[in-house]
Amino acid sequence: MKKSIVVIGGSAAGPKAASKARRMDPNAEITIIQKAENLSMASCGYPYFIGGTFDEEIKLICTPTGVPRDPQFFFNVKDINAIVSTEVTSIDPQEKKITAKHTKTGEVMEKKYDQLVICTGSKPIVPGIPGIDLNGVTTLHTMEDAKFLKDIAKNRKSKHAVIIGGGLIGIEVAEALTLAGIKITVVERQDQILSFLDLEMAKLVEKHLKAKGGNIYTGASVEKITGKNGQVAGVELSDSTKIKCDLVVSSIGVRPNSDLAADAGLEIGETGGIAVNEYMQTSDESIYAAGDCVEVKSLVTGKKMLWPMGDAANLQGRVIGQNLALGNKVEYKGVVSTGICKVFDFVAGSTGISEGQAERDGIEVVSTIHAAPDRPGFMGALPIVMKMIAEKNTGKIIGVQAVGMGDVSKRIAEAAVALHAGMTVDDLLTLDLPYAPPFSAAIDNFITCAHVLDNKIKGYMKGINPKEVKAKFDSGEDFCFLDVRGPDELEEMRFGKGELNLPLGALRANTDKLPEDKNAEIIAFCKISLRGYEAQLYLESIGYTNVKVLEGGIVAWPYDREK
């Protein structure tokens, strides 16, 4: 008798689990039951569909060769029975059966299983505020949401949109709507957008978004959505600000859609996700789970966490497919939390944990910020600002962030591999990475950032974070802010905060212009602070005892400046 495998959910993890199981076991009876009308939707592509990168919605469900992944495709190509527009309403683990109902006809069906896979995904967190049910308020979670926003963008049906939430989806929607000529305002309750970044890195992205015409409100929340004749007319913020708008997109996050599993008596973790072991097996040995509905292990902190990302869902599904066919032979070890976001011609990415998260977890760290072009100037260099975070006692890398116009993705990928391997700063110093002028400088940004952190750990470089320098300015502290760039660079961009300009080449001949007190605090910088570091070393050699380097230089300064 054929083994019956039933997969609940047909977005990412479900089809991957079913397809891998079929490749490993040609004889099993495999069924996918999907609540939505579509299968294998590339939901991460929704913002780019809305923004006009492509206009054909069918591309969101196609294979790389352009074949739609519909039920007929799964049946003809994979011998998998895919049932759409059908919601599984209950699981009976004792009888090993599911009950499902067709979303349009109401027809009820039951199906027995030998092995069950739950891939019910996530559901959007919708704020319980007045006006949330008005016309013109939406999330971006389903194909229907994407089509709704696509119609608005394509036909210019909105003039001003407010986006609640400054996370990945919120920022991607902000770009998509801006490209459609719609004015956008992002409202984020935290004091920064993109919470996977540290504040000084997130501020660089915020600065870029504002330069593209976006409005950003941080440290504020939408308390009320106002309307007129049932249609959105504006929002009121917690600080009493009122903003007129005709579209509101709620993107404050998602939560695991684990209710079905909970009702079946399966163990739910503290995070709200379905608890699974290393084989992606639930508390019932016949039932597996994957995707946004499960909790996973952080390979950085060792803690359980939620990680609702499409790549993780697919990898988890692949693991399950093998274990369905072979028994529990393949493990899913966990995540290092790698993510990336496009913001117009800017990119923001990270892997591991932020310095802020490390502090909240009681991990003592050392970090640095490094700015540099992603390749030689004669090859059309573009800037990247990187931040590297390591455990103070061990030197183990626990987080890397990068933002800028250069090839951020490559550097975050390098860093993610380093985190998976448990590498230390010392391990990175002589990595053999691919080099040619079209792709990188002779020493890649990632390795150079490690060199800077190594210099800081060993006490050669006395770095100071932009946040700390900003705090000194705000509190009126007295220090010498030493700009060692040339006069032409000063005209191109400058702080306008009373800095002393002494080009590095002229520093030795002009020491009389420096503070007489050799214990006075001096903070040196240049465009990316390489010359700032050289200035620090020279000044220390002539007796100055309190010289620091502004990490990342003026390029990495995330706050306002004169020019």
**% of the chain exceeding 70 in pLDDT:** 100
What pLDDT score was predicted for residue 453?
Answer: 98
Average pLDDT for the chain: 97
Structure-token pair, residue 88:
């599984």
Residue 563 has pLDDT above 90, yes or no: no
3-state per-residue secondary structure call for 101-118: EECCCCCEEEEECCEEEE
Q: Give the integer Cα–Cα distance in Å for 25 and 21.
A: 6
User: Is position 147 within any domain?
Assistant: yes
CB atoms within 10 A of CB 105: 9
CA distance 45 to 56: 12
201: which residues sit within 8 A by CB, 6+ positions away?
348, 369, 385, 387, 401, 403, 558
Does 131 reside within a domain?
no
Distances (CA, A) of 524 to 84, 519, 556, 560: 63, 15, 14, 18
pLDDT at 336: 98
Which has the closest alpha carbon to 507: 538, 479, 468, 477?
538
Q: Are residues 149 and 208 in the same domain?
A: yes
φ, ψ dihedrals at 489, nearest 5°: -65, -35
Q: Are 349 and 402 in contact (CB under 8 A)?
A: yes
Which spans in 327-465 are helix H?
355-360, 408-420, 425-428, 445-457
The answer to whether 519 touches 480, Cβ cutoff 8 Å, is: no
Same domain, 435 and 343: yes
- Report pLDDT for 300: 97
- Tell whether 53 and 95 lie within a shared domain: yes
- 523 and 429 share one domain: no
SS3 content of the chain, % helix, strand, coil (to 5): 30, 25, 40
Q: What is the pLDDT of residues 512-529, one digit of tens each?
A: 999 999 999 999 999 999
- Do residues 115 and 10 both lie within one domain? yes
pLDDT, tens digit, 9 for 90 and up, residues 51-80: 999 999 999 999 999 999 999 999 999 999
Whether residues 533 and 447 fall in one domain: no
Q: Is residue 547 part of a domain?
A: yes
Tell which of 426, 457, 488 closes a domain: 457
Q: Which domain holds residue 166?
A: 137-252
Is residue 311 one of the residues assigned to a domain? Answer: yes
C-alpha torsion angle, residues 28, 34, 39, 40 (rounded to 10): -80
Mean pLDDT, to the nearest integer, of 437-460? 97
Other CB atoms within 10 A of residue 416 CB: 20
Angle (CA) 418 423 426, round 5°: 120
Structural domain count of the chain? 4
Q: What are phi and psi of 124, to 5 degrees?
A: -70, 145
Does residue 96 form part of some domain? Answer: yes
- C-alpha distances (whole Å) from 558 to each of 31, 206, 277, 366, 388 are 52, 9, 42, 20, 17
Helix (H, G, I), strand (E, B) or coil at 455: helix
Nearest in space to 171 (alpha carbons), one of 310, 400, 342: 342
**Same domain assignment for residues 40 and 107:** yes
Residue pLDDT, tens place only, 162-178: 999 999 999 999 999 99
In a domain, 484, yes or no: yes
Give the CA distances from residue 480 to residues 76, 381, 550, in Å, rounded to whole numbers and listed in that order. 73, 32, 12
| Whether 83 and 143 share a structural domain | no
70/47 Cα distance (integer angstroms): 22
Residues 9 and 102 in one domain: yes
Query: What HEC string does 421-441 produce?
Result: CCCEHHHHCCCCCCCCCCCCC
DSSP annotation of 485 reads S
Give pLDDT tens digits for 31-54: 999 999 999 999 999 999 999 999
Q: What is the pLDDT of residue 221?
A: 96
222/291 same-domain check: no
Q: What is the 3-state secondary structure (H, E, C) of 486-555?
A: CHHHHHHCCCCCCCEECCHHHHHHHHHHCCCCCCCCEEEECCCCHHHHHHHHHHHHCCCCCEEEECCHHH
pLDDT score, position 212: 95
Report which of 292, 290, 285, 282 is spatially closest to residue 262, judged by C-alpha positions. 282
Q: Answer whether residue 563 is part of any domain.
A: no
In 3-state terms, what secondary structure has residue 54?
coil
pLDDT, average across residues 81-101: 98
Kindly state the DSSP code that residue 233 receives in the 8-state scheme.
E
Q: How far apart are CA 279 and CA 294, in angstroms?
A: 12
Determine how many CB atoms are found less than 10 A away from the CB of residue 285: 12
Q: Is the pLDDT of residue 1 over 90?
A: no
| Beta pairing partners, 281 | 288
Q: Evaluate whether residue 334 is within a structural domain.
A: no
- At 285 the pLDDT is 98
d(CA 278, CA 390): 27
Question: What pLDDT, in 10s, does the model give residues 202-221?
Answer: 999 999 999 999 999 999 99
The CATH number that applies at residue 523 is 3.40.250.10
Q: Give pLDDT tens digits for 527-544.
A: 999 999 999 999 999 999
Question: Are 230 and 371 found together in one domain?
Answer: no
The residues that bridge with 295 in the sheet, in sequence order, are: 306
Buried b (16+ CB within 10 A) or exposed e, 117-146: bbbbbbbbeeeebebeebebbbbbbbbebb
**Sheet containing 346-352: which strands, arranged edge to edge?**
339-343, 346-352, 397-404, 383-391, 365-373
Among the candidates 280, 299, 326, a domain finishes at 326
How far apart, in whole angstroms, are the C-alpha atoms of residue 17 and residue 510? 69
Amino acid 262: pLDDT: 98
Question: Can you read off the two tokens belonging to residue 146?
Answer: 């994407």
Place of tokens 């309403």: 89
CA distance 548 to 497: 17
Whether 246 and 265 map to the same domain: the answer is no
Query: Residue 266 belongs to a domain with what CATH number?
Result: 3.50.50.60
pLDDT of residue 399: 98
User: Which residue type occupies 32?
Assistant: I
d(CA 275, CA 195): 25
* Rounded Cα gap, residues 133 and 220, in angstroms: 21
What single DSSP character describes residue 253? -
> Of the candidates 168, 132, 174, 133, which has an alpha carbon nearest to the alpha carbon of residue 153?
174
Cα–Cα distance for residue pair 452/448, rounded to 1 Å? 6
- Give the model's confidence band at 415: pLDDT under 50 very low, under 70 low, under 90 confident, else very high: very high
Does residue 62 have an active-site annotation?
A: no
Parallel, antiparallel or unpaired: strands 29-33 and 81-83 = parallel
